[in-house]
Amino acid sequence: MATHEVVVPLFDGIQPLDATGPHEVLMGANQVLDHIGSAEPRYRVTFVAETPGTVTADSGMRMCVDAPLPETGEIGTLLVPGGSGARAMTPGHPLACWLRRAAPRAARVVSVCTGAFPLAAAGLLDNISATTHWRHAPALATAYPAVDVRPDPIYLRQGRIWTAAGVTAGVDLALALVEADHGVDVAQLIARELVVFLRRPGGQSQFAAPVWSPPARQPSIRAAQDLIHGNPAADLRVPILAARVGMSERHFSREFTRALGTPPGDYVEQVRVDAAKRLLESEPVLVTVAAARTGFGTAETMRRAFVRRLGVAPDRYRRHFATTTASTDERT
């Protein structure tokens, strides 16, 4: 049976989940394909290193590597993880030099988290948009001005180059790779098995929390979901969404509700509440700023949505769950 070769270079200072998360998704895909009797290629993941042996992760975990960096042979997916070792790489680093040689042999090149730094060092991100962990996006933009760094998305695809945000976003990206190769049903089965969200739109914010509802099977409704999750701050009124997917307002509202069990307006509000929750938990922003960035427009509109869905006002939610504190106390 044909195989899809996945090559993952490891190095000292790796973030282990950047490699093991996608590995588990791809191995899960193989199990699903075996179960359904598919004849499509299976993934074969090979961990490689400049010098085979043991690499030490940022966390102290030791990972064994048996294979050297391959200099010949076709590569289906070249996947570069992140970590402090990745952030320290320069254009002259041996791995960056190898990536420059290996990339032309790869059908697609992928980075997870700060794995974007080695790709940038190799010149593979020049003049395209790329993402990385939001905390390190400014450093990537400063070090490599030829890269259009986008700090917000979960992942971005630019032709055969895919880049993902921090850590667990590698799972999201791997699910997207599986969907691109084998379809949404296989990706959904893996997501359920791993008990993770199946996040589809690559432009979705790193601060947007997805819902558990599966993607709609009807392409037009699925496209509307992608628009909603991809940019909760956009104009997502029913007439706008209906026009974007080529449907009348009445037909769109009826089909959306039938497919997802909730009207479009309610769905949009829930996605915006989830996005605002994540933002309030993760960044020291004022409620007014969170409201603007997640599509509510005003703090009062967001407050009403929070009270309606969570039973608590945004500022109180932040005081209970935030990992950072806003610079100015704002009672809302």
Domains of the chain: residue spans and CATH: 3-181 (3.40.50.880), 208-332 (1.10.10.60)
| Confidence (pLDDT) at 309 | 85
Check pLDDT > 80 for residue 199.
no
Give this prediction's pTM: 0.64
Per-residue confidence at 197, pLDDT binned at 50, 70, 90?
low
| Confidence (pLDDT) at 226 | 85
Check pLDDT > 60 for residue 327.
no
- The number of angstroms, rounded, from the C-alpha of 282 to the middle of its chain's C-alpha atoms is 16
Q: Tens of pLDDT along 122-144?
A: 999 999 999 999 889 999 999 99
| Confidence (pLDDT) at 193 | 76
Q: How many CB atoms lie within 10 A of CB 246?
A: 9
Check pLDDT > 60 for residue 325.
no
Is the distance from CB of 178 to CB of 25 less than 8 angstroms?
yes
* Listed ranges 113-127, 128-142, 222-236; the one with the highest mean pLDDT: 113-127
Check pLDDT > 50 for residue 211.
no
Mean pLDDT in residue range 44-52: 95
Per-residue confidence at 321, pLDDT binned at 50, 70, 90?
low
Check pLDDT > 50 for residue 178.
yes
Mean pLDDT in residue range 177-195: 83
Q: Could you give the percent of the chain with pLDDT greater than 90?
A: 66
User: What value does the mean pLDDT of the chain take?
Assistant: 88
| Confidence (pLDDT) at 170 | 87
Report the distance separating Cα 167 and Cα 196, nearest Å: 14
DSSP 311: S
Per-residue confidence at 201, pLDDT binned at 50, 70, 90?
very low
Per-residue confidence at 326, pLDDT binned at 50, 70, 90?
very low
Q: If you count DSSP H runs as helices and E runs as strands, how many of each does the chain have, helices first?
A: 14, 11
Of 312 and 56, which is predicted with more confidence?
56
Identify the three-state secondary structure at position 165. coil
Is the distance from CB of 229 to CB of 274 less than 8 angstroms?
no
| Confidence (pLDDT) at 214 | 63
Mean pLDDT in residue range 144-155: 89
Check pLDDT > 70 for residue 330.
no
Provide the pairing of β-strand 3-9 with 62-65: unpaired
Provide the pairing of β-strand 75-80 with 67-68: unpaired
